[in-house]
Structure 1
């Protein structure tokens, strides 16, 4: 068997697999945005905003219900306490149910509700501080599909991690 036939068979298999996944409603994507971490009590010169990013994937059970998992990096906050520099980085895994309201073939709005398993690590004078837990999260957003498989998503999410975190993000969405 020559290389052309093998490559053709692989491409045909991948094409069939891609169509089967699309019929089953699987999707994935990535987003970037701005996180605000409400943790500046007692901290001077506090910078509580940072660039955040996430990778997500999910399954649309039907046109109105989906389940989504994501890994989110909220970035870092920094400031000083008693003249010593402190910082903290936060990230976590989320799992959420999504209610979707399609407004037409391309555009829909959604709400999500779920949990986040988070981790916060301290730096500077807070070095060695490590905290984790599981808390609630929810969000609102919209998505616009350019094609049957490629779209854009914008959303606001709120996380109840010891101190509230708000995340505004925009990202690319790909349906398999």
Structure 2
């Protein structure tokens, strides 16, 4: 029975592998914004962040992407208390591309992100730290400009959803970035 299942998977995957000529890798840098809603406080903080990713364009319109984003540390001091968070995210998404001409294209991504956040809080009364792992919906939109057959420049916005949640408190993260993509 297992051999039949493996044979079926291989038969179904073969056409996808044949279209996998659209493999790419890339890296982006930009501004990550974290918004923390803690008790009666709402705090926004931005910092420079980066991501690395890779994917396949199975056709000129559809593909898949996997990436890692380090949204870096954001910290804020409120009434003498220091709050910091350091989210990182591993995501997988389906991609859709709308070519506008030979060089310009618009794209969108929908998937899930597995987020890990380290948090620290300190005040004159003491300090606490911890971490949280959370899976959340992931969406992104962007545009690309193909310099040549292999190199493209991209600009994109991505939302990682609630990267941490504890009761009514939560931290949301998004990322506005530019980067370079290399297609094989």
TM-score by length of structure 1 reads 0.80
With over 3 angstroms needed to count, the CA separation of the structure-2 counterparts of 1:80 and 1:146, relative to structure 1, is same
Deviation for aligned residue 1:40: 5.2
Larger strand proportion of the pair: 2
1:168 to 139, 158, 176: 176
Measure, in 2, the Cα distance between the counterparts of 1:151 and 1:127. Answer: 44
Measure, in 2, the Cα distance between the counterparts of 1:88 and 1:43. Answer: 15
The residue that corresponds to 1:17 in the other structure is: none
Cα distance per residue 1:23-68 (max 9 Å; x no partner): 7110001000001111154559x56100110001000000000100
Cα distance per residue 1:45-93 (max 9 Å; x no partner): x561001100010000000001000000111121235523221100110
1:49/1:77 contact within 8 Å kept: yes
| Correspondence 1:44-83 to 2 at 5 A | 48-83=45-80
The residue that corresponds to 2:8 in the other structure is: none
Measure, in 1, the Cα distance between the counterparts of 2:111 and 2:140. Answer: 9
Measure, in 2, the Cα distance between the counterparts of 1:91 and 1:25. Answer: 27
Q: Which runs of 5+ in 2 are unaligned?
A: 1-17, 165-170
Is 1:133 aligned to 2:134, yes or no?
A: yes
Cα distance per residue 1:5-30 (max 9 Å; x no partner): xxxxxxxxxxxxxxxx9971100010
Paired residues in the alignment total 155
Deviation for aligned residue 1:166: 2.0
TM-score by length of structure 2 reads 0.77
Root mean square deviation of aligned Cα: 2.2
1:123/1:129 contact within 8 Å kept: yes
